[in-house]
């Protein structure tokens, strides 16, 4: 089966014999983007969280066939060192990561949260950010999520001023 | 007492009775049931089989009364404190569909079916008696405005309902338990029960 | 000591810049400190844990054409911030900005690997002297080379900000290196005064921050090499299962399968993709001889003080035959649950073997692979990667050996990693423990006699990690007794006994080892005794601290924590505080937890943590370690528990293995660092000590019931 979709803006075509192959492995092993992590393969830890058409999706549990015609974004497409996404900028400012392995999943989940709820309350954060971090960076994460919302709001103000 | 359900008193030895009550026809209009002929025994059996299905964890787990979806044959609360959210689809960014897609996933063991979500709060069944469940099922004010025809369609054709017979494998790769009767028998039970007026027996 | 000369000067390499291959310079490194030399002499003779590999010279620094300095680290980075600390140590002595230093994991081919491990919160403490001395020596080599090449006296040269200033002009290290064919040998100079350091002691951002925020492929799981295929190994689901036969006929013909490897001790399958390897693995029907009757209750009954082998570790009094107060505590089996599964990429060719993996034991893994493949150790190059969590789990990485066998068999590089279920069922668990504490008080409410007996499964004993002479302390397990010594030495009679109980499954090192469990027992009991004595828990603790240097440091963290948190032993508006303190590997820590109980759930609002690690090389990262240890400690003590059912270890997935989520982390964590000594001490594990006891002590204030078993959330439901 051949599937077409975009990964971080670039058009991709992959051919697989098993169309139930999790999108995670297509992204990592066929397309070589390693930022999206394998943690459990059971949609339990959230390390593989990406965006499909703007929605947070755990890619270890998302068959490649459903990606047909869709826009897939991973941590590599969220932002760059020169042009970081507000979530990444906040993560750097608050020095959140320790081992770093779970962090892309958290950042993708947070970016999705801020799209839906630009100014999340603690309760919004508690309910939506349910990935697992073993190093225990949660304390800084909450601060970074709040800071990211602030950066994003300021960017919106800047954009509306210039346009 | 709602007018769109009937209460059947079963007389010992009387296999066929005439019921004087009101029900709704397939167009959703109220009709007198004095002409309807029902086998009490058959009706009771169908009703009981239907309830065995609806109260099985495969169905009941997504009809909670506390906004918390349940999981597994032991009906434990959904891990990670997932809950109903504002629209029965979980939370805004982390929704049911963050993990559950429109098909079961054989690799992750995450179950899936079209429009995977909790049943509306008005259709919470957990902890209710069979009679109360049937009342909620038949009551248009709780069932999303469905008449008998729509209910039969929902119960016998909706892929999320019928997922119960194709629940896939769990996280350990083991097949999930299905409801106590086959899908075919269930469909027949639903059709017969409704054809016979969707009568709720009372003991 | 005649031995000194042989070992006191060690060679190290500065590998050359600008496209030149090989070694440009060999430096010598004289350990200045005579005590250190003696330790080194002992270490070399007794093969005890020391960072050097014995292979000389060691590659420490590499100058690159971009005028960067690559620092080859013998320690691995698993989140603890060691790379950042190392960059800071080197930068200050090299006189270069921290951005000029790129810390990388030293592959074993460099010789610069730790023959022991990365663990025990020792990395920065153990590198504190040698790394600064190495950096200073390199600085002197660069200066000496500049003198030779530029023909100017040393007094005209100055290194500042990574460039050599010469009479108003400047030259970079890389430019100088281009001119040099042979580097001069210099002696290790005096180190700078600590007060002169500009980077050490500052909260510079983590050096790996950008890689980790922008998704760089830095972990073992991310390694991709050309022609790589995927391996999987069939593992039993039951404790103590032994392999009988395997039927591979179905798996052999499955899509993508390249080869099935049947060894005496494992069956592996190699396929073109991970999914194909997994599918084939499930199709292999293995017959195991597996006992299926073992239950958690059996383990709990086994793990009792009085069973197994006792070793008295603190003896200043007899056993208490008529205790005034007696209590028992238990802790469950704990999983590491690190998010990156164990995995490896092995590439075995005729030339030798190269393995890329997340490991805390580079040298041991190298030896294991060499032995299995019957290769000389030098033919096996272990390339460590960033670890997606360590916590002690990666002190055992024999899967490297299995991947190497599969790679050799298939003639291609093989990537092999654990499924999450395998991670949970084949973890090297934190052992369950049982504690019995007894005490008698004096008439004026002080402790007259204190006894703690604790039992634990293996932590260090039977570990491949330590030479057998070192894994026990007078016969007790050195891991299990972490936190086992009573820190209140102003008690007339103390008796502490460690009981070693053998378990039917593997247990081992889990961040802080016995500290979490032992402190839970000690510090819960201290609150019990304080109440019995009618005293404030903080004052009661202070009264039993010995008047010496370590006692003074412990006093200071306790007093500061009580003061900063405004500690009170009463419930205010449904909130209560719990106090606890511990001393681990010379680092005292005190914590105050503020919590309430909402709908029978423990809700932790704030933790105040006072730690005295000595000099904090990077205060922000020391704070991060405290925050992380506190949250991991909350997770372990409130939620986590492995169980045994019908011979299987369960659960096998996150969720059923409940762990703290973001919402369970306190919204306030205040970390206060004291500096009770001049040099850096252990940081990563000590703050895991007090948290469990502090929570239990706070819960007692609210409920008037004492939590005596972890996980607390389960204990609370059952109370």
Total of domains in chain B:
1
Task: Say if the Cβ atoms of A60 and B102 lie within 8 Å.
Answer: no
Residue with tokens 């929704």: B95
Contact C70, C61 (CB under 8 A): yes
Chain A contact set for B82 (CB, 8 A):
130
Q: How far apart are CA C624 and CA C574, in angstroms?
A: 29
Which of residues 138 through 157 in chain B touch C, CB cutoff 8 A?
A: none
Two tokens, residue C376: 């000389």
Phi, psi of B163 (to 5 degrees): -55, -30
**In-domain check, residue B117:** yes
Taking 80 as the threshold, does the pLDDT of residue B203 lie above it? no
Q: Which of C464, C622, C545, C557 is nearest to C125 (CA)?
A: C622
Q: Which of C240, A22, C30 is nearest to B109 (CA)?
A: A22
Q: Quote the pLDDT of residue B38.
A: 58
Q: How far apart are CA B64 and CA B61, in angstroms?
A: 6
Task: Say if the Cβ atoms of A139 and C669 lie within 8 Å.
Answer: yes
Contact B57, B77 (CB under 8 A): no
Q: Does B81 touch chain C (CB under 8 A)?
A: yes
The DSSP code for C93 is H
Chain A contact set for C630 (CB, 8 A):
136
Q: Does C78 touch chain A (CB under 8 A)?
A: yes
Chain C contact set for A125 (CB, 8 A):
662-663
Contact C276, C285 (CB under 8 A): no
Q: What does the DSSP assignment read for C659-680?
A: ---GGGS-SEEEEEE---SSSB
Each residue's pLDDT tens digit, C615-648:
999 999 999 999 999 999 999 999 999 999 999 9
Residue with tokens 């069922």: C425
Q: Quote the pLDDT of residue C18.
A: 35
Paired residues of C71 in beta bridges: C61, C103
ipTM over 0.95: yes
Q: Does B92 touch chain A (CB under 8 A)?
A: yes
CB proximity list for C371: less than 8 A, separation 6 or greater: none
Please calculate the CA angle C618-C623-C625 and round it to the nearest 5 degrees.
Answer: 95
Paired residues of C614 in beta bridges: C680
A41: region left, alpha or beta (phi > 0 left; psi from -120 to 50 alpha): left
Task: Say if the Cβ atoms of B93 and A115 lie within 8 Å.
Answer: yes
Q: Does C665 touch chain A (CB under 8 A)?
A: yes
Q: Does B108 touch chain A (CB under 8 A)?
A: yes
Paired residues of A7 in beta bridges: A10, A72
Which of residues 25 through 54 in chain A touch C, CB cutoff 8 A?
A: 25, 29, 32-42, 44-45, 47
Task: Say if the Cβ atoms of A127 and B94 lie within 8 Å.
Answer: yes
Each residue's pLDDT tens digit, C450-509:
999 999 998 876 655 554 445 555 567 888 889 999 999 999 999 999 999 999 999 999
**In-domain check, residue B13:** no
Peptide bond into C313 cis (omega under 30): no
The DSSP code for C169 is E
Q: Quote the pLDDT of residue A156.
A: 83
Q: How far apart are CA C659 and CA C644, in angstroms?
A: 18
Q: How far apart, in Å, do the first and last CA atoms of chain A sit?
A: 45
Q: Which of B112, B148, B120, B125 is nearest to B56 (CA)?
A: B125
User: Going by DSSP bridges, is the β-strand pair C242-247/C380-384 parallel, antiparallel, or unpaired?
Assistant: unpaired
**In-domain check, residue B11:** no
Q: Quote the pLDDT of residue C301.
A: 97
Domains of chain A: 2-77 (3.10.20.30), 79-162 (1.10.150.120)
**In-domain check, residue B5:** no
Two tokens, residue A51: 């965006």
Contact C275, A18 (CB under 8 A): yes
What CA–CA distances, in Å, run from C476 to A134, B150, C433, C459?
30, 72, 14, 10
* Burial class of residue C321 (count of CB atoms within 10 Å of its CB; 0-12, 13-18, 19+): exposed
Angle between helix axes B148-157 and B130-138 (nearest 10 degrees) is 110
Taking 60 as the threshold, does the pLDDT of residue A102 lie above it? yes
> How is chain C split into domains, by residue range?
3-211, 220-290+342-417, 297-334+428-718
Which run of H or E residues covers position C147? helix C123-150
Minimal Cβ distance to C224: which of A32, A41, A130: A32
What CA–CA distances, in Å, run from C669 to A98, A142, C193?
17, 12, 33
Q: How far apart, in Å, do the first and last CA atoms of chain C sit?
A: 63
Q: Quote the pLDDT of residue B39.
A: 65
CB proximity list for C506: less than 8 A, separation 6 or greater: C427, C428, C429, C458
Minimal Cβ distance to C388: which of A18, A75, A99: A99
Minimal Cβ distance to A130: which of B80, B109, B171: B80
Q: Does C661 touch chain B (CB under 8 A)?
A: yes
CATH-assigned architecture of domain C220-290+342-417:
2-Layer Sandwich (3.30)
Question: How many CB atoms lie under 10 A from the CB of residue C678?
Answer: 8
**In-domain check, residue B163:** yes
Q: How far is A152 from chain B (nearest CA, A)?
A: 17
Peptide bond into C626 cis (omega under 30): no
Minimal Cβ distance to C656: which of B79, B81, B107: B79
Task: Say if the Cβ atoms of C221 and A34 lie within 8 Å.
Answer: yes
Q: Which of A142, B99, B39, B97 is nearest to C663 (CA)?
A: A142
Taking 70 as the threshold, does the pLDDT of residue B160 lie above it? yes
Angle between helix axes C691-703 and C515-533 (nearest 10 degrees) is 40
Strands across the sheet with C414-417, in order? C257-262, C267-271, C229-233, C414-417, C343-348, C353-357, C380-384
CATH code of the domain made up of C297-334+428-718: 3.30.365.10
The DSSP code for C638 is I
What CA–CA distances, in Å, run from B195 to B18, B121, B138, B152, C396?
15, 27, 14, 9, 66
Q: Quote the pLDDT of residue C14.
A: 57
3-state secondary structure of A30: helix
Which run of H or E residues covers position C390? none
> Among 3.40.50.1970, 3.30.1490.20, 3.30.365.10, 2.60.120.460, what is the CATH number of C3-211?
3.30.365.10
Phi, psi of C396 (to 5 degrees): -135, 110
Which of residues 601 through 660 in chain C touch B, CB cutoff 8 A?
A: 652-656, 658
Question: How many CB atoms lie under 10 A from the CB of residue A81?
Answer: 12
**In-domain check, residue B133:** yes
- Residue C612 — very low, low, confident or very high, per pLDDT cuts 50/70/90? very high
3-state secondary structure of C321: coil
CB proximity list for C644: less than 8 A, separation 6 or greater: C239, C294, C295, C296, C298, C299, C333, C650
Paired residues of C457 in beta bridges: none
Taking 90 as the threshold, does the pLDDT of residue B142 lie above it? yes
Which run of H or E residues covers position C469? none
Chain A contact set for C339 (CB, 8 A):
37, 39, 45, 47, 99, 101-102, 132-134
Question: Which structural domain range is residue B94 located in?
Answer: 41-197
Minimal Cβ distance to B110: which of A43, A109, A127: A43
Chain B contact set for A21 (CB, 8 A):
107
Q: How far is B152 from chain A (nearest CA, A)?
A: 30
Chain C contact set for A99 (CB, 8 A):
78-79, 338-340, 386-390
**In-domain check, residue B4:** no
Q: Do domains C3-211 and C297-334+428-718 have the same CATH topology?
A: yes
Mean model confidence pLDDT for chain C:
89
Q: pTM of the entire structure?
A: 0.93
Q: How far is B171 from chain A (nearest CA, A)?
A: 6
Mean pLDDT of A19-43: 97
Q: How far apart are CA B73 and CA B56, in angstroms?
A: 8
The DSSP code for A141 is H
* Cα dihedral: B191, B196, B134, B152 (round 10): 30
Q: Does B31 touch chain A (CB under 8 A)?
A: no
Q: How far apart are CA C702 and CA C577, in angstroms?
A: 9
Minimal Cβ distance to B99: which of A41, A61, A66: A61
| Chains near A (3 or more Cβ pairs under 8 Å) | B, C
Minimal Cβ distance to C661: which of B80, B171, B172: B80
Q: Quote the pLDDT of residue C28.
A: 47
Q: How far apart are CA C641 and CA C514, in angstroms?
A: 16
Each residue's pLDDT tens digit, C371-415:
999 999 999 999 999 999 999 999 999 999 999 999 999 999 999
Each residue's pLDDT tens digit, C14-60:
554 333 323 334 444 444 333 333 334 333 333 233 334 444 557 78
**In-domain check, residue B19:** no
**Residue count (chain A):** 163
Mean pLDDT of C111-123: 80
**Rg over CA atoms, chain A:** 16
C704: region left, alpha or beta (phi > 0 left; psi from -120 to 50 alpha): left
Each residue's pLDDT tens digit, A58-101:
999 999 999 999 999 999 999 999 999 999 999 999 999 999 99
Q: Quote the pLDDT of residue B48.
A: 95
CB pairs under 8 A between A and C: 181
Mean pLDDT of C175-197: 84
Task: Say if the Cβ atoms of A127 and B171 lie within 8 Å.
Answer: no
Contact C13, C57 (CB under 8 A): yes
| Chains near B (3 or more Cβ pairs under 8 Å) | A, C
Q: How far apart are CA B41 and CA B10, in angstroms?
A: 8
Q: Quote the pLDDT of residue C13.
A: 57
């Amino acid at each position: 089966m051949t599937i077409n979709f975009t990964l971080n803006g670039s058009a991709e075509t992959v051919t697989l014999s098993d169309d139930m192959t999790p999108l995670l492995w297509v992204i990592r092993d066929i397309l070589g983007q390693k930022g999206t992590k394998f943690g459990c393969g059971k949609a339990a830890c959230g390390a593989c969280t990406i965006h499909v058409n703007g929605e947070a999706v755990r890619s270890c549990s998302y068959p490649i066939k459903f990606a047909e015609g869709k826009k897939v974004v991973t941590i590599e497409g969220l932002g760059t060192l020169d042009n970081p996404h507000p979530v990444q900028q906040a993560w750097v400012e608050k020095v959140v990561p320790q081992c770093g392995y779970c962090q892309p999943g958290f950042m993708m989940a947070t970016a999705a949260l801020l799209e839906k709820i630009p100014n999340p309350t603690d309760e919004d954060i508690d309910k939506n950010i349910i990935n697992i971090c073993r190093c225990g960076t949660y304390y800084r994460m909450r601060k970074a999520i709040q800071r990211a919302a602030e950066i994003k709001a300021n960017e919106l103000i800047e954009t509306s001023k210039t346009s | 007492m709602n007018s769109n359900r009937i209460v059947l008193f079963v007389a010992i030895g009387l296999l066929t009775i005439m019921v004087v009550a009101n029900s709704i026809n397939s167009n959703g209009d109220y009709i007198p049931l004095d002409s309807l002929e029902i086998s009490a025994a058959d009706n009771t059996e169908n009703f009981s089989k239907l309830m065995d299905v609806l109260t099985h964890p495969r169905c009941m787990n997504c009809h909670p009364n506390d906004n918390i979806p349940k999981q597994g044959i032991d009906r434990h609360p959904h891990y990670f404190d997932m809950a109903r959210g504002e629209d029965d689809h979980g939370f805004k960014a982390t929704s049911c569909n963050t993990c559950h897609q429109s098909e079961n996933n054989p690799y992750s063991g995450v179950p899936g079916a079209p429009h995977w979500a909790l049943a509306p709060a008005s259709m919470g069944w957990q902890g209710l008696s069979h009679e109360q469940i049937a009342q909620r099922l038949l009551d248009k004010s709780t069932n999303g405005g469905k008449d008998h025809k729509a209910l039969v369609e929902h119960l016998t054709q909706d892929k999320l309902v019928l997922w119960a017979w194709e629940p896939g494998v769990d996280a350990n790769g083991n097949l999930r338990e299905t409801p106590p009767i086959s899908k075919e028998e269930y469909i027949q039970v639903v059709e017969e029960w409704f054809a016979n007026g969707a009568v709720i027996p009372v003991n | 000591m005649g031995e000194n000369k042989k070992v006191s000067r060690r060679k190290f390499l500065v590998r050359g810049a600008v496209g030149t291959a090989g070694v440009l310079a060999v430096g010598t490194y004289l350990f200045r400190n005579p005590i250190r030399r003696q330790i080194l002499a002992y270490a070399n003779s007794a093969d005890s844990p020391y960072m050097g590999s014995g292979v000389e010279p060691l590659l420490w620094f590499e100058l690159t054409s971009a005028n960067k300095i690559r620092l080859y680290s013998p320690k691995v980075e698993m989140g603890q911030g060691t790379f950042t600390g190392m960059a800071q140590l080197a930068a200050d002595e090299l006189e270069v900005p921290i951005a000029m230093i790129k810390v990388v994991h030293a592959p074993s081919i460099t010789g610069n690997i730790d023959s022991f491990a990365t663990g025990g919160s020792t990395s920065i403490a153990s590198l504190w002297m040698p790394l600064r001395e190495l950096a200073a020596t390199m600085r002197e080599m660069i200066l000496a080379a500049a003198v030779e090449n530029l023909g100017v006296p040393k007094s005209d040269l100055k290194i500042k900000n990574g460039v050599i200033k010469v009479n108003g002009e400047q030259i970079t290290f890389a430019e100088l290196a281009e001119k040099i064919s042979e580097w001069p040998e210099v002696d290790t100079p005096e180190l700078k005064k600590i007060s002169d350091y500009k980077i050490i002691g500052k909260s510079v951002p983590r050096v790996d921050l950008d890689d980790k925020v922008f998704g760089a492929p830095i972990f073992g799981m991310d390694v991709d090499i050309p022609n790589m295929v995927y391996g999987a190994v069939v593992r039993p689901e039951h404790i103590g299962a032994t392999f009988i036969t395997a039927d591979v006929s179905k798996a052999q013909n499955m899509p993508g399968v390249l080869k099935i490897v049947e060894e005496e001790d494992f069956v592996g399958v190699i396929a073109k993709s991970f999914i194909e390897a997994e599918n084939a693995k499930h199709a292999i029907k293995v017959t195991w001889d597996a006992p299926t009757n073992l239950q958690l209750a059996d383990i709990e009954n086994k793990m009792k003080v009085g069973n197994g082998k006792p070793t008295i570790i603190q003896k200043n009094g007899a056993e208490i035959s008529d205790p005034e107060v007696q209590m028992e505590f238990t802790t469950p089996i704990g999983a590491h649950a690190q998010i990156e599964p164990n995995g490896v990429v092995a590439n075995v060719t005729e030339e030798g073997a190269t393995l890329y993996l997340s490991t805390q034991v580079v040298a041991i893994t190298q030896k294991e692979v060499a032995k299995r493949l019957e290769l000389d150790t030098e033919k096996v190059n272990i390339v460590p990667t960033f670890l997606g969590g360590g916590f002690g789990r990666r002190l055992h990485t024999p899967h490297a050996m299995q991947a190497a066998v599969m790679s050799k068999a298939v003639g291609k590089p093989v990537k092999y990693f654990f499924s999450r279920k395998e991670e949970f069922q084949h973890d090297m668990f934190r052992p369950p423990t049982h504690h019995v504490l007894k005490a008698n008080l004096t008439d004026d409410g002080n402790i007259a006699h204190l006894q703690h007996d604790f039992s634990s499964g293996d932590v260090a004993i039977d570990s491949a990690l330590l030479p057998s002479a070192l894994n026990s302390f007078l016969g007790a397990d050195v891991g299990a007794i972490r936190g086992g010594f009573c820190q209140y030495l102003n008690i007339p009679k103390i008796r502490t006994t460690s009981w070693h109980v053998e378990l039917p499954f593997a247990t081992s090192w889990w961040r802080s080892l016995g500290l979490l469990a032992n402190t839970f027992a000690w510090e819960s009991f201290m609150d019990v005794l304080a109440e019995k004595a009618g005293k404030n828990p903080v004052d009661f603790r202070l009264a039993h601290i010995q008047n010496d240097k370590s006692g003074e440091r412990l006093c200071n963290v306790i007093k500061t924590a009580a003061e900063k948190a405004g500690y009170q032993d009463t419930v205010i508006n449904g909130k209560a505080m719990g106090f606890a303190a511990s001393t681990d590997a010379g680092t005292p820590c005190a914590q105050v937890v503020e919590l309430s109980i909402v709908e029978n759930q423990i809700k932790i609002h704030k933790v105040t943590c006072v730690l005295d690690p000595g000099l904090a090389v990077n205060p922000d990262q020391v704070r991060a370690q405290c925050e992380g240890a506190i949250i991991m400690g909350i997770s372990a003590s409130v939620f986590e528990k492995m169980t045994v059912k019908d011979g299987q270890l369960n659960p096998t997935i996150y969720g059923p293995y409940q762990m703290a989520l973001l919402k369970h982390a306190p919204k306030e964590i205040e970390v206060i660092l004291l500096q009770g000594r001049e040099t850096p001490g252990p940081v990563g594990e000590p703050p895991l000590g007090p948290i469990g006891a502090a929570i239990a002590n706070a819960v007692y204030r609210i409920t008037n019931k004492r939590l005596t078993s972890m996980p607390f959330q389960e204990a609370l439901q059952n109370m």
